[in-house]
């Protein structure tokens, strides 16, 4: 298992020790302290930069993408992901800003599933559902970390050992998440995991994006394309019905570039399930790319800043969520307020509630197998 770098302390004061490395491509990585959790556990921060000025910052609390600075069409950099300036913000937060989600991303009906005839119970934290791994998921753990680099990228690999029966899931599970920044303005996230007992697993990243800059208004005019001809409709409890329904003729049709706000308030029962008062998107789209990492799965552009995001993934689905429950009460980085519909997520994943849905792609992981999952976020501006 990878070992974390240890922060030095003396005279009762934590020293902000930074290490800086670089490779031939002009990519650099900086490593320093990011404070401590409430129980005194040190949290570290890794700042990855490329030669164009793009910067990705990852913290060991929740293996979280804490910041992502990207240039607009005028060359001005802004942070395009929501988050906090200190560990305590993440400890108190309930929105999963930027976090690695596990063991099971998205929802499990009644927090339960069966495996080989045995029923397992995960703590319910979304009414009757278990959401994103239960009450203390991977987003609330401090991961071990080590810098990684090669001739084309600079990055950080984070590891976490989830003990057998943690949050009700079977098996000792070793998970590894690697963030890599390239000089092509790509941030790549690779996941690997192995278990010593049969289990279920569905990892993802829960970054909230606003291409105009985090805290800079809503995302209703930003234009999304989801290369998916079907989605998984849900019940009022936001659990899939088991159907793969066509998006054609519904507000879920983003097969062509469509402003996110165009149909977000449409009078459609699915949108009311996602957010009863005003509507919104919180659904899994079944991607037509079918795990081909060379094909664009989703893309979003911001007409004002010119920023453009292309997402590639090996996963069969993506949860497109429009931050329906942000309400302007959360203050994030720099004291900025995060408004309703102030960001979107693109959570690459297997489908929600898959262990209870026999027709969905399997999320089972057995001993001797290696779970793997990759996603590439490519940024440009024009």
Report the run of H or E that residue 307 belongs to, with start and end. Answer: strand 307-313
Backbone angles phi, psi at 226, to 5 degrees: -115, 115
What Cα–Cα distance (Å) separates residue 294 from each residue in 159, 289, 291?
27, 9, 9
Handedness of CA 96, 215, 341, 244 (dihedral sign): negative
Contact partners, residue 205, CB within 8 Å, separation at least 6: 65, 98, 99, 100, 101, 189, 347, 348, 375
**CB-based contact 87:43 (threshold 8 Å):** yes
Backbone angles phi, psi at 271, to 5 degrees: -65, -35
Backbone angles phi, psi at 87, to 5 degrees: -60, -40
347 has catalytic annotation? yes
Report the run of H or E that residue 299 belongs to, with start and end. Answer: strand 298-301
- Of 31, 132, 206, 373, which is the active-site residue? 206
206 has catalytic annotation? yes
Report the run of H or E that residue 271 belongs to, with start and end. Answer: helix 269-274
In the numeric block, the tokens 């979280």 are attached to 64
DSSP for 117-174 reads TEEEE----BTTBEETTSTT-GGGSBPEEEEEE-SSEEEEEEEEEEPTTGGG--S-EE
Structural tokens at position 233: 């409709």
Structural tokens at position 344: 């979107």
In the numeric block, the tokens 């993408």 are attached to 65
Tell me the C-alpha distance between 234 and 12, whole Å: 53
**CB-based contact 85:93 (threshold 8 Å):** no
- Of 44, 176, 315, 347, which is the active-site residue? 347
Tell me the C-alpha distance between 209 and 149, whole Å: 26
Catalytic residues: 206, 347
């Amino acid at each position: 298992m990878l070992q974390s770098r240890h922060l030095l302390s003396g005279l009762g004061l934590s020293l902000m020790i930074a290490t800086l490395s670089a490779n031939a491509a002009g990519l650099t990585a900086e490593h320093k302290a990011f404070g401590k959790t409430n129980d005194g556990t040190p949290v570290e921060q890794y700042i990855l930069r490329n030669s164009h000025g793009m910067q990705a910052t990852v913290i060991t609390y929740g293996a979280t993408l804490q910041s992502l600075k990207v240039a607009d069409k005028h060359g001005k950099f802004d942070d395009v992901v929501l988050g906090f300036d200190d560990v305590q913000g993440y400890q108190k937060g309930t929105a999963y800003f930027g976090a690695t989600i596990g063991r099971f991303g998205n929802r499990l009906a009644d927090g339960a599933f069966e495996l080989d005839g045995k029923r397992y119970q995960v703590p319910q934290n979304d009414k009757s559902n278990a959401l994103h791994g239960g009450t203390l998921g991977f987003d609330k753990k401090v991961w071990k970390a080590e810098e990684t680099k090669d001739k084309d990228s600079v990055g950080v690999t984070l590891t976490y050992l989830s003990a057998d029966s943690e949050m009700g899931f079977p098996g000792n599970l070793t998970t590894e998440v690697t963030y890599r920044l390239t000089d092509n303005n790509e941030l790549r996230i690779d996941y690997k995991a192995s278990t010593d007992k049969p289990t279920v697993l569905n990892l993802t990243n829960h970054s909230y994006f606003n291409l105009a800059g985090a805290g800079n208004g809503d995302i209703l005019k930003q234009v999304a394309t989801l290369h998916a001809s079907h989605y998984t409709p849900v019940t009022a409890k936001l659990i899939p019905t088991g159907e793969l329904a066509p998006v054609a003729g519904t507000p879920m049709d983003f097969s062509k570039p469509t402003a996110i706000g165009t149909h977000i308030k449409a009078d459609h029962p699915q949108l009311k399930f996602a957010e009863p008062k005003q509507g919104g998107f919180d659904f899994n789209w079944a991607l037509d790319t079918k795990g081909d990492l060379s094909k664009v799965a989703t893309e979003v552009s911001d007409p004002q800043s010119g920023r453009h995001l292309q997402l590639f993934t090996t996963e069969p689905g993506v949860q497109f969520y429009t931050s329906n429950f942000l309400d302007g009460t959360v203050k994030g980085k720099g004291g900025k307020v995060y408004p309703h519909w102030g960001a979107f997520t693109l959570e690459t994943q297997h489908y929600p509630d898959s262990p209870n849905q026999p027709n969905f792609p399997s999320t089972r992981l057995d001993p001797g197998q290696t779970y793997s999952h990759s996603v590439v976020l490519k940024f440009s501006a024009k």
